[in-house]
């Protein structure tokens, strides 16, 4: 048990270091996030120049939403994760199968390490840039901060399981790009990354609520800005936990099925 | 002049060869085009959701913003068709394949710009045309020759502005191997900023978009004239006609930046 945990920690450290190796990419990325942070913030302010409240948001919380989503984008890695798919394509996956840790568990540990790096270097800096120019709403109570941290960890786990699932389609499909694109689209819209889910028309909000995607962005943001409070926070965290567990199980199942039909050529 | 014609003829030949190659895999091509067509609607869905909550953004209605969106996205989609592969340019610097470009008997910029031509970007172009058609159909514009000329001019000038911005900022790749993402802030960031009325931005950002990275000239200023809208920011009416001149100026600057960057390039190879 302890040995397994130590192994997880080792994988997490590797995940952290992999991304720490490219500081220039980090600076460029923060710049991109800041550009889009300003854009989103001004668009939402123009919206709230005419309305005082939309779905529990006001001008200040909406601007906070704009910067927080930019801060979370790399942590939860919405776009362009193809690591597993590429390993399946190249056959490198065979090496992972003989390692002592299950690839899914190792992958999750690695991804949580990566997420920590991205939170520190890609999350906090754009948020600070936003805080220099706008008045952002911060949680007042340490309990809310704690709930937010837990929520982000669960968000990364849900996002990881989804990424693992669509990557696993490479076991069956010659070209997994189509699946990647469709899931990426659904993720950016229904997670509330582009526009908060509470702004959606009723029917579309209901569609979003039936998917795991709000667990990736909308729920952590709602906890942070205080749109959900008290016991609602616990319900929100439970929702994320349920999705994380269900999707990890599905990811494990899909991987096992995929491995069964895997043929790696070469000796 | 003869040189220019010759370059153009060569470009057409290269494009035709690439089209033939890309159309070999017919199914994959069709799926790619449909895929890009659908994804492109994502930003527009965001705009529609905003207008489901409010009737106006600043002094602009949904159809008016759709016009801005249509012009900006069409210009950007055409840019993407022509130079979208510049996204991969930093990689050629890193691999050292750019050195090959230096020894061939054509200008470096010509070779880099013509290195690829991704016909699947037609998906994005058709999406932009659909939105533009929607805007024009719902707006009841009082059409005159001048307005039509300004509309077409905006798309052409906008394309030239975006291409120039892309060429200028991709030069970052000569100094850092991570040039792509920094360039994206200007290219993808630029088009997204141009999709909304600049009126809603703060003063510093409006000035930046009018005078530094002039994407306000892609859609916003021309659209004011097409719609017969007085500028709430108090810019004079004639500014709507200046997009082609601005495009020429930006292109000139981009050429200068490129030439200067290439002169300072030192290959890592031996």
Question: Tens digit of pLDDT for each residue in B156-194?
Answer: 999 999 999 999 999 988 887 777 788 888 999 999 999
pLDDT at B42 over 80: yes
Q: How sure is the predictor about B244, in pLDDT bands with cuts at 50, 70 and 90?
A: very high
Rounded to the nearest angstrom, the minimum Cα separation between A150 and chain B is 29
Chain B partners within 8 Å of A42 (Cβ) = 196, 200-202, 205
pLDDT at A92 over 60: yes
Chain B partners within 8 Å of A213 (Cβ) = none
What length does chain A have?
A: 267
> What secondary structure does DSSP assign to B124-146, as a single string?
HHHHHHHHHHHHHHHH-----HH
Report the chain B residue with the minimal C-alpha distance to residue A178.
B35
Q: ipTM value of the model?
A: 0.88
Q: How sure is the predictor about A221, in pLDDT bands with cuts at 50, 70 and 90?
A: very high
Chain A partners within 8 Å of B182 (Cβ) = 28, 31-32
Q: Which pLDDT does position B33 carry in this prediction?
A: 84
Residue range B205-235, pLDDT digits in tens: 999 998 899 999 999 999 999 999 888 888 8
Tokens encoding B197? 């009325």
Least confident range from A42-51, A130-139, A153-162, B96-105: namely B96-105
Put simply, the chain A residues between 194 and 253 with a CB less than 8 A from any chain B CB are 194-195, 199-201, 204
| Mean pLDDT for chain A overall | 92
Report chain B residues touching chain A, CB-CB < 8 A: 28, 31, 35, 38-39, 42-43, 45-46, 49-50, 52-58, 176-182, 184-185, 189, 192-193, 196, 200-202, 205
CB A78 within 8 A of CB A188: yes
A51 has a chain B CB within 8 A of its CB: yes
Rounded to the nearest angstrom, the minimum Cα separation between A7 and chain B is 32
Taking an 8 Å cut-off on Cβ atoms, the answer to whether A28 and B178 are in contact is: yes
pLDDT at A80 over 70: yes
Taking an 8 Å cut-off on Cβ atoms, the answer to whether A51 and B53 are in contact is: yes
CB B221 within 8 A of CB B243: yes
Inter-residue long-range contacts of A123-126, CB under 8 Å, 24+ positions, other chains counted: A123/A71, A123/A72, A123/A74, A123/A75, A124/A71, A125/A30, A126/A30, A126/A33, A126/A34, A126/A37, A126/A67, A126/A70, A126/A71
How far is the CA of A261 from the CAs of A178, A186, A250, B85, B118, in angstroms?
Answer: 21, 28, 17, 36, 34
Residue A196: left (phi > 0), alpha (psi -120 to 50), or beta?
beta
Q: Which pLDDT does position B21 carry in this prediction?
A: 85
CB A168 within 8 A of CB A251: yes
Q: Which pLDDT does position A208 carry in this prediction?
A: 96
A149 has a chain B CB within 8 A of its CB: no
Q: B47, B50, B172: which to substitute to probe chain A, counting the most A Cβ within 10 Å?
A: B50
Q: Which of B233, B209, B58 lies closest to A45 in space, CA to CA?
A: B58
A47 has a chain B CB within 8 A of its CB: yes
How many CB atoms neighbour CB A121 within 10 A? 18
Q: Which pLDDT does position A181 carry in this prediction?
A: 81
Q: Which of A183, A170, A149, A147 lies closest to A72 in space, CA to CA?
A: A149
| Mean pLDDT for chain B overall | 90
Report the chain A residue with the minimal C-alpha distance to residue B197.
A43
Chain B partners within 8 Å of A188 (Cβ) = 42
A42 has a chain B CB within 8 A of its CB: yes
Residue A164 to residue A175: CA distance in whole angstroms: 16
Chain B partners within 8 Å of A49 (Cβ) = 58
Q: Give the residue, B201 or A100, on which the prediction is more confident.
A: B201
Chain B partners within 8 Å of A51 (Cβ) = 53-54
The average pLDDT across A11-40 equals: 90
Helices and strands per DSSP (H, E), number in chain A: 12, 0
* pLDDT above 70 coverage of chain A, percent: 99
pLDDT at A83 over 70: yes
Rounded to the nearest angstrom, the minimum Cα separation between B54 and chain A is 7
Residue A43 to residue A194: CA distance in whole angstroms: 11
How far is the CA of B123 from the CAs of B76, B126, B138, B192, in angstroms?
Answer: 12, 5, 23, 18
Least confident range from A142-151, B35-44, B129-138: namely B35-44
Rounded to the nearest angstrom, the minimum Cα separation between B179 and chain A is 8
Q: Which pLDDT does position B268 carry in this prediction?
A: 65
How many CB atoms neighbour CB A193 within 10 A? 25
Chain A partners within 8 Å of B202 (Cβ) = 42
Q: How sure is the predictor about A262, in pLDDT bands with cuts at 50, 70 and 90?
A: confident
Rounded to the nearest angstrom, the minimum Cα separation between A26 and chain B is 9
Q: Which pLDDT does position A257 carry in this prediction?
A: 94
Q: How sure is the predictor about B269, in pLDDT bands with cuts at 50, 70 and 90?
A: low
The average pLDDT across B67-71 equals: 96
Q: Which pLDDT does position B54 carry in this prediction?
A: 94
């Amino acid at each position: 048990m302890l040995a397994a945990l130590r192994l997880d920690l080792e994988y997490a450290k590797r995940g952290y270091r992999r991304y720490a190796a490219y500081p220039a990419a980090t600076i460029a990325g923060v710049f991109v996030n800041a550009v889009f942070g300003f854009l989103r913030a001004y668009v939402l302010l123009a919206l709230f120049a005419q309305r005082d409240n939309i779905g529990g948001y006001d001008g200040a919380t909406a601007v906070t939403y704009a910067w927080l989503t930019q801060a979370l984008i790399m942590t939860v890695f919405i776009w362009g994760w193809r690591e597993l798919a590429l390993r399946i394509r190249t056959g490198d996956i065979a090496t992972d199968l003989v390692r002592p840790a299950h690839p899914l568990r190792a992958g999750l540990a690695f991804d949580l390490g990566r997420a920590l790096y991205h939170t520190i270097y890609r999350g906090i800096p754009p948020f600070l840039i936003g805080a220099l120019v706008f008045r952002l709403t911060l949680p007042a109570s340490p309990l809310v901060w704690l709930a937010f941290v837990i929520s982000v960890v669960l968000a990364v786990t849900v996002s990881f399981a989804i990424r693992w699932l669509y990557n696993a389609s490479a076991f069956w499909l010659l070209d997994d790009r189509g699946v990647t694109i469709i899931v990426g689209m659904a993720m950016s819209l229904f997670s509330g990354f582009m526009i908060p889910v509470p702004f959606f028309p009723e029917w579309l909000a209901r569609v979003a609520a039936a998917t795991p995607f709000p667990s990736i962005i909308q729920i952590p943001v709602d906890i942070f800005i205080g749109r959900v409070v008290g016991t609602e926070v616990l319900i929100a965290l439970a929702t994320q936990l349920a999705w994380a567990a269900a999707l990890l199980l599905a990811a494990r199942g899909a991987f096992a099925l995929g491995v069964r039909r895997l043929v790696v050529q070469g000796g | 002049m003869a040189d220019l014609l010759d370059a153009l003829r060569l470009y057409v030949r290269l494009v035709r060869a690439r089209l033939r190659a890309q159309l070999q895999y017919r199914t994959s091509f069709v799926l790619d085009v449909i895929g890009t067509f659908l994804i492109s609607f994502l930003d527009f869905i965001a705009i529609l959701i905003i207008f489901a909550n409010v009737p106006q953004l600043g002094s602009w209605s949904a159809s008016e913003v759709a016009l801005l969106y249509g012009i900006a996205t069409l210009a950007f989609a055409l840019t993407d068709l022509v130079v979208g592969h510049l996204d991969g340019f930093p990689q050629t610097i890193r691999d050292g394949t750019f050195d090959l470009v230096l020894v061939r008997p054509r200008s470096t910029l010509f070779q880099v710009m013509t290195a690829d031509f991704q016909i699947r970007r037609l998906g994005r172009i058709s999406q932009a045309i659909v939105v533009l058609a929607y805007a024009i159909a719902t707006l009841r514009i009082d059409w005159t020759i001048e307005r039509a000329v300004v509309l077409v001019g905006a798309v052409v000038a906008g394309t030239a502005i975006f291409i120039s911005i892309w060429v200028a900022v991709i030069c970052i790749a000569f100094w850092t191997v991570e040039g792509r993402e920094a360039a994206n802030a200007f290219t993808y960031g630029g088009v997204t900023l141009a999709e909304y009325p600049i009126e809603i931005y703060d003063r510093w950002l409006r000035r930046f978009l009018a005078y530094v990275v002039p994407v306000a000239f892609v859609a916003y200023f021309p659209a004011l004239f097409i719609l017969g809208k007085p500028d709430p920011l108090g810019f004079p009416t004639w500014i709507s006609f200046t997009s082609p001149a601005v495009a020429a100026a930006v292109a000139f600057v981009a050429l200068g930046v490129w030439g200067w960057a290439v002169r300072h390039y030192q290959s890592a190879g031996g």
